[in-house]
Amino acid sequence: MTPTTRAIDTPIERLRTTVSGTVALPGEPGYELAVPWNVAVPVRPYAVVAVEDAADIAATVRFAADHGLKVAVQRTGHGAVPLGDDVLLVHTGRLTECAVDPDARTARIGAGLVWQDVVDAAAPHGLSPLTGSSTTVGVAGFLTGGGIGPMVRTYGLSSDHVRAFDIVTGNGEVLRVTPDEHAELFWGLRGGKATLGIVTAVEIDLIPVTRFHGGAVYFDGDDAVAVAHAWLDWCAELPEHSSTSLAFLQLPPLPQVPAPLAGRATVAVRFASLADEAEAAALVDRLRSVATPVLDGIATLPWAAVGAVHADPVDPMPTHEYTALTGQLTHEAIDALLSVAGPGSHSPQTVVELRLLGGALAREPRHRSAFCHRDADFALMVAGVLVPPTAEDVIGHARTVDRVLSPWTTGRRLPNFAADSDPDTIARAYDDDTWHWLSALADEHDSDGVLRVGHVVRRDR
C-alpha cells in the first residue's frame, strides 16, 4: 500500500475528499479558525471543517454520525462554548452570499456574514438591518438566539423579522424553512440556537431607516448614584420609540478607549431613538441635567454607526459573562446594584449593564417563536476580562452580583448572552412547553444526537 492510499483510507481523509471546503486537524492550516473571539473558552475540536455550502455540512453531520462524533457550529466565537476532540467544528466563514432586494426590503444573507457586512450592503439602498449592539457578531448565531438589538423596544426581537432560513438538520437534510414550509422548525430556530440545525442562509426584513438619534452619554463614576436612580425613573416613562441601557464601566487605559473613559470608573446611558431629533434630544436632556457628562456622544447618527451606542470591544479577548433577567426594578434594586458595581464597590468587571426591555419586544410577533421570557423588564449583563490584576476576582464577583440582585431576578435568562452548555442553565432560557417541543423536534431532526453539543435543548443530554 502506498502512503497516499493509506492516507485516503483514514476516515478523516474520506471526509476531506467528500467536502468542497477544507478539513483541518490540530496543527494544520485552517485549524486556527477554531480560536474564538472569547479566547478564554477552550475550543479544541477534533477537526475544523471550513464549509463551502450546505452539502459540506450535510456530509460533515453524516460523517460524524458514522464515527461517533458530534458537530458544533461557529462563526466568530462571540458565544463560544468549550469543545473537545469528540467534536467536528463547522466554520461558516465561507458562506458569504449577501443579496439585498430593495423593492421587497429584504436581504438574503449567508451564515458566514457578520452584521457590519449587512449594514454596508443595505445602506446604499436606504435600508438597514436590525443588528445587535456589536456589528462584529455573526448574523446566524445572533438570530437563532432571538437577537436583542439597540432598537429592541421599537422593532422587537431581530428574529421576529426573519422570513426564511436555509438549514442542514442533524439528520443531514437540507431544508428551506419558512412560516409555511417546516413551520415547526421556523418556530424553533428563532430562539433555539443550533438545536434544530445549522443555518446556511437567512432571509430578513430590512427597515427603511438610515438615521437614528442616539449613542451614549458618559458620566463620572462618582455620579453613578444620581445617574442610576434618575435613569430608573426616566425608563418608566420612556416611549416605545426609544431604547436604553445603563452601564457601569471600567474601561482599560488603552489607546482605542477615549481619554475621558480610559482607566477609570464611568457610568454610561446608552440610547437609541427613532423619535424626531428635538423630542429625542429633550428626553436625553433630562438625564444630562442630573450630572455633568465627561463625554457626550449622543447625536443624530447614520445607522451605520449603530455600534457606537454600546461601543462593544472588537478585538478578541478572554471574557467571563454573567446574565440574568429581572422583573420590575425598584430604587432598592438600584441601590443593590450600586453596592456591587457603583462607586467604592471595587467591582472587577469591565461592564455591568442593565438593558430596558419591554415595548415591541414584549408582544408576540405574527409568527410565534421559541424565544421566551418576553415579559422581563430588564436584562442584566456582567462582563469581565480574565487578565491580571482582576482576573481572579471576576467570576466570584459575578456570583456576588447574582446573589445581591436575586430579589429582583426571575431565574430566567436569554439564549444569546453568557454562552453555556450546562443543560440546567440552557433550560432557563425557555419555558417548560418550549423546552419540551424543542427537545421533541430535536429528537426527530437529529435522531443520532449529532448536534448535541453546546447550547442545544435535548432531554437526554
- 133, 169, 242, 409: which one contacts ligand FAD (CB under 6 A)? 133
Residue 111 interacts with ligand FAD (CB under 6 A)?
A: yes
Report in angstroms how near the CB of residue 199 gets to ligand FAD at its nearest.
4
- For 186, the grid coordinates are 421556523
Residue 270 interacts with ligand FAD (CB under 6 A)?
A: no
Residue 135 interacts with ligand FAD (CB under 6 A)?
A: no
- For 169, the grid coordinates are 438538520
CB 37 within 8 A of CB 76: yes
Q: Which is nearer to ligand FAD, 241 or 320 (CB)?
A: 320
Count CA atoms within 13 Å of residue 452 on its CB side.
Answer: 20
- 73, 109, 426, 438: which one contacts ligand FAD (CB under 6 A)? 73
Q: Which is nearer to ligand FAD, 121 or 143 (CB)?
A: 143
Instruction: Quote the distance between the C-alpha of residue 91 and its chain's center.
Output: 17
CA–CA gap between residue 31 and residue 24 (Å, rounded)? 5
Residue 172 interacts with ligand FAD (CB under 6 A)?
A: no
Restricting to residues 297-316, name those near ligand FAD by CB under 6 A: 312
- Give residue for cell 421559541: 370
Report in angstroms how near the CB of residue 262 gets to ligand FAD at its nearest.
18
Report in angstroms how near the CB of residue 80 gets to ligand FAD at its nearest.
5
Residue 193 interacts with ligand FAD (CB under 6 A)?
A: yes
- Give residue for cell 477554531: 34
Reference 451, options 77, 23, 72, 43; nearest CA is 72
Residue 376 interacts with ligand FAD (CB under 6 A)?
A: no
Residue 138 interacts with ligand FAD (CB under 6 A)?
A: yes
- 22, 60, 76, 154: which one contacts ligand FAD (CB under 6 A)? 76
Report angle CA 214, 193, 70 to the nearest 5 degrees: 140
Stretch that binds ligand FAD, among 16-24, 71-79, 242-250, 296-304 (CB under 6 A): 71-79
- 416, 439, 450, 457: which one contacts ligand FAD (CB under 6 A)? 416
Reference 220, options 309, 294, 286; nearest CA is 294
Residue 188 interacts with ligand FAD (CB under 6 A)?
A: no
Reference 79, options 119, 43, 45; nearest CA is 43
Restricting to residues 199-258, name those near ligand FAD by CB under 6 A: 199
- 22, 128, 134, 266: which one contacts ligand FAD (CB under 6 A)? 134
CA–CA gap between residue 32 and residue 286 (Å, rounded)? 49
Q: Which residue's Cβ has the minimum distance to ligand FAD?
A: 141
Q: CA separation (Å) from 232 to 31, 128, 290, 364, 426?
A: 47, 30, 13, 25, 29
For the chain, what is the largest distance between any 2 Cα atoms, rounded to a whole number of angstroms? 81
Residue 75 interacts with ligand FAD (CB under 6 A)?
A: yes
Bridge partner list, 300? 213
Report in angstroms how near the CB of residue 381 gets to ligand FAD at its nearest.
8
Report in angstroms how near the CB of residue 405 gets to ligand FAD at its nearest.
20
Instruction: Quote the distance between the C-alpha of residue 15 and its chain's center.
Output: 31
- Give residue for cell 427597515: 207
Give phi and psi for 174, each to the nearest 5.
-100, 115
- Give the residues lining the site for ligand FAD (CB under 6 A): 36, 73-81, 92, 111, 132-134, 137-138, 140-142, 144-145, 147-149, 193-194, 198-199, 312, 416-417, 419, 454-455
